[in-house]
Structure 1
Amino acid sequence: MNVVVAHGAQIPTIGLGTMTLKDDVCVQAVKTALQLGYRHLDTAAFYGNEKENGEGLSQSGVKRDDVFITTKVRQENLMPDDFQRSLDQSLANLQLPYVDLLLIHWNNAEVPFKLSVGALCKAKKDGKAKHIGVANFTTAMLDEAWAVTTEPLVCNQIEMHPFLNQDKVLAGCNRHGMAVVAYCPIARGKVPGAEVLERIGQAHNKSSAQVSLRYLVQRGVVAIPRTATPAHLQQNLDVFDFTLSDAEMAELKKLNDTNMRVVNPPHAPKWDTP
């Protein structure tokens, strides 16, 4: 099992992102992924599919202890009482006593880090989360969160793919010993058809999506691509049997200059700029 280790957390390098997967489509995707060998599931209260993630796990026949499960608390629930309610509901939905990783999904500028990060730390102390972390945090927010946390923050989950420069936030995570988990690692379908990725893929007999994932893996980043297609589920796992050359990595790194962000909602922070 390929894992990224941070503050004691062993995060499987490729996971299944489940945002927008609903109802039986989600159940079957989770079940199939686990049966193919995935050991990392990513969900969130906001996705409205925690029950389906839990059901897919239950149907897969894979032992709970063998799977790394992440869920998240949304920005409107970061006050301590709301946070606890949201987490308890998530655990009830998943039908699990704890998750492996609990994240603040998006920050809420109106809730002090002392309260939101304090609630996150309490979840760990209460045994409801083995590890805790954040998502969509800038370097400044990471520093502020670390200044008040009583438990290690093991990861920052961010949008990351070859078309976006995230060097600053990567450096910020490295400074704190945090793992980086990349969502939208295939840039929501923008990767297939991109000339550089297609050409590099052909050289390795791989798809452009696999090249994008491999690029992240070689940068030491965890990737959580979303798909419900069994063939794509398998392909996303098959990124450990080839290596991109330094020249190929440099060519892909150049695509960072595109600075194409596919997730930028109104409640997003002021992002770090390259």
Structure 2
Amino acid sequence: MPRLGFGTFRMAGNECQPVVESALELGYRHIDTAEMYQNEEAVGAAIAASGIARSALHVTTKVWHDQLAPDAIERSLETSLRKLRLDFVDLYMVHWPSSSMDLPAVLETIQGLREAGLTRAIGVCNFNMQLLKVVLEDIGAPIACHQVEYHPFLGQEAMLGYLRAQGIPLVAYAPLAQGRAANDPVLALIGEKHGVTAAQVAIAWLLDQPGVVAIPKAQRRETQRANLDALNVRLDDADRKAIAALPKNQRFVNPPFAPQWDV
């Protein structure tokens, strides 16, 4: 999995295909989509138009929390593959946990899909620590990663430490805090020192951490390129100290069906 991917949340409809085509042209090889985004057809069309070898791409999609019955999961992946025009995805994830799900059955089902060759790996998103420990310690599911909101204004130290101990990467979505990082004065000051933007600093901060993958989204080509260029930003200890001092309690993705985060 490339450490810098391309997110496609809120890129529904006709606007999505040319945006993903642009990202692929610039060099992105990790594309993150989901059933709920309603853009898998556009993502699939962009991949088909790119001419890039399937083996060079990492494609992630996800099953929505109201489709976690075993037969529904299987149908969801079949539908996603058809829309994506792919024989398999590289990573299939539970998008959000559900209070009514049978978690062992969910994981058994997606493991079965992996064994059937329909996905190369499986993962979960938005699980709290309690649920994640059930996945890894009680059930022993071989998840490849855990995707959660993570940016300079939301701490994930406990989660990240636990995942590192398990050898599992954390995939950071909303890595720019839904645009807020671009206007943060602390990040901007660090950016001035390095000749880059505040947003590039935010991405560089995530990628500076072992075991962290980031999937920023960007519709404009110049922003897509700037995010890629963040791979070349090297922060120093003073930068890290300044970012560590930012408030770390700002969660911007917290829908009504989200789990209780502090357990």
Contact 2:95–2:125 (Cα < 8 Å) also in 1? yes
- Aligned match for 1:232, one of 223, 245, 249: 223
Compute the RMSD of aligned alpha carbons. Answer: 1.3
The range that moved more, 174-183 or 196-205, is: 174-183
CA distance in 2, matches of 1:272, 1:179: 20
- In structure 2, what is the equivalent of residue 244 of structure 1? 235
- In structure 2, what is the equivalent of residue 95 of structure 1? 85
CA deviation vs aligned residue, 1:62-96 (integer Å, no higher than 9, x gap): 11211100000111111111110111111111011
- The letter for the 2-side match of 1:170 is L
- The letter for the 1-side match of 2:226 is Q
TM-score using structure 2 length: 0.96
Contact 1:142–1:172 (Cα < 8 Å) also in 2? no
CA deviation vs aligned residue, 1:182-212 (integer Å, no higher than 9, x gap): 0000000111121100000011010101000
Contact 1:32–1:60 (Cα < 8 Å) also in 2? no
1:1-274 pair list within 5 angstroms: 11-147=1-137, 149=139, 151-220=141-210, 221-255=212-246, 257-272=247-262
Q: Quote the offset at 1:120 in angstroms.
A: 1.4
CA distance in 2, matches of 1:22, 1:108: 24
Q: Quote the offset at 1:246 in angstroms.
A: 1.2
SS in 2 for 1:56: helix
- In structure 2, what is the equivalent of residue 3 of structure 1? none
CA distance in 2, matches of 1:171, 1:258: 16
- The letter for the 2-side match of 1:135 is C
Q: Quote the offset at 1:258 in angstroms.
A: 4.0
- The letter for the 1-side match of 2:117 is G
The alignment of Structure 1 onto Structure 2 pairs a total of residues equal to 262
Higher percent of residues as strand: 1
* Structure 1 consecutive aligned stretches of length 4 or more whose deviation exceeds 4 Å: 148-151
CA distance in 2, matches of 1:243, 1:156: 25
CA distance in 2, matches of 1:23, 1:66: 25
TM-score using structure 1 length: 0.93
Identical amino acids, percent of aligned pairs: 37
- In structure 2, what is the equivalent of residue 7 of structure 1? none
SS in 2 for 1:171: helix
- Structure 1 gaps of 5+ residues are 1-10
- Structure 2 gaps of 5+ residues are none
Contact 2:135–2:141 (Cα < 8 Å) also in 1? no
